[in-house]
Structure 1
Amino acid sequence: MNSGERRLRPRKQPRQVRAELTRQRILSAAAHVFTEHGYAAGTTNRIAERARISIGSLYQYFPNKDAILVELLTRHLDDGMRNTAARLPDAWPDSVEETVRHFVRAAIESHLDDPKLLRIMIEEAPRSQALLDKVAHLEKVHVGYVRDLIERHADVRVGDPHTAARLVVSTVELVVHQLIAASDPIDIPHFENELVAMLTRYLTGGNPSSG
Structure 2
Amino acid sequence: MRAELTRQRVLTAAAHIFAEYGYAAGTTNRIAERARISIGSLYQYYPNKDAILAELMTRHLHSVRVTGTYRDQSDLPDSLEDIIRMFVRTKIENHLDDPELLRIMYEQAPRTGELLDRVTRQEQEMVDDLRDLIDRHPEVRVEDRDTAARLATAALGPIVHHLVAAPNSVDVTRLEDELTAMITGYLRGSGQGGGRTTPRSA
- TM-score norm. by structure 1 comes to 0.85
Q: Deviations over 1:2-57 (max 9, x none)?
A: xxxxxxxxxxxxxxx11111111000000011111111111101101111111111
Q: Could you tell me which amino acid in structure 2 is paired with residue 180 of structure 1?
A: V
Query: Which stretches of structure 1, 4 residues or more, deviate above 6 A after TM superposition?
Result: none
Q: Which residue of 1 aligns with 2:58?
A: 74
Paired with 1:54 and 1:118, the residues of 2 have a C-alpha distance of: 26
Alignment counterpart, residue 46 of structure 1, candidates 2, 10, 30: 30
1:90 to 61, 73, 94: 73
2:108 to 124, 136, 139: 124
Q: Check the 8 A contact 1:97/1:196 in 2, yes or no.
A: yes
Q: CA deviation at 1:183?
A: 1.8
1:83: how far off? 5.7
DSSP-derived class of the 2:60 partner: helix
1:187 maps to 2:171: yes
Task: Give 1:61's aligned residue.
Answer: 45
CA drift of 1:178 comes to 1.3
CA contact (8 A) 1:104 1:192 kept: yes
Aligned residue pairs total: 190
Structure 1 residues 65 and 193, CA gap change in structure 2 (3 angstroms)? same
Distance in 2 (CA, whole Å) between partners of 1:88 and 1:173 is 21
Give percent identity, aligned residues only: 60
Unaligned 5+ runs, structure 2:
192-202
**Secondary structure of the corresponding residue to residue 41 of structure 2:** helix
1:157-168 correspondence runs (5 A): 157-168=141-152
Give, in angstroms, the shift of residue 87 of structure 1.
Answer: 5.9
2:71, 2:133 within 8 Å by CA — same for their partners in 1?
A: no
- Tell me if structure 2 keeps the 8 A contact 1:87–1:102: no
Q: Distance in 2 between matches of 1:79 and 1:62?
A: 21
Q: Which of 173, 186, 194 pairs up with 1:202? A: 186
* Alpha carbons 2:32, 2:42 under 8 Å: kept: yes
Task: Give the alignment's TM-score, normalised by structure 2.
Answer: 0.89
C-alpha offsets along residues 124-144 of structure 1, whole Å, 9 cap, x if unaligned? Answer: 111111111001100111111
Q: Structure 1: which 5+ residue stretches go unaligned?
A: 1-16
Cα drift, residue 185 of structure 1: 1.5
Query: Per the alignment, do residues 153 and 87 of structure 1 end up closer, same or farther by CA in structure 2, a change over 3 Å counting?
Result: closer
Matched, 1:172 2:174: no
1:103-161 CA distance string (max 9 Å, x none): 11010001011111112112211111111100110011111111112212011011111
Report the Cα distance in structure 2 between the residues aligned to 1:105 and 1:89, rounded to whole angstroms: 18
* Larger fraction in helix: 1
The letter for the 2-side match of 1:111 is H
SS in 2 for 1:58: helix
Q: Give the letter aligned to residue 125 of structure 1.
A: A
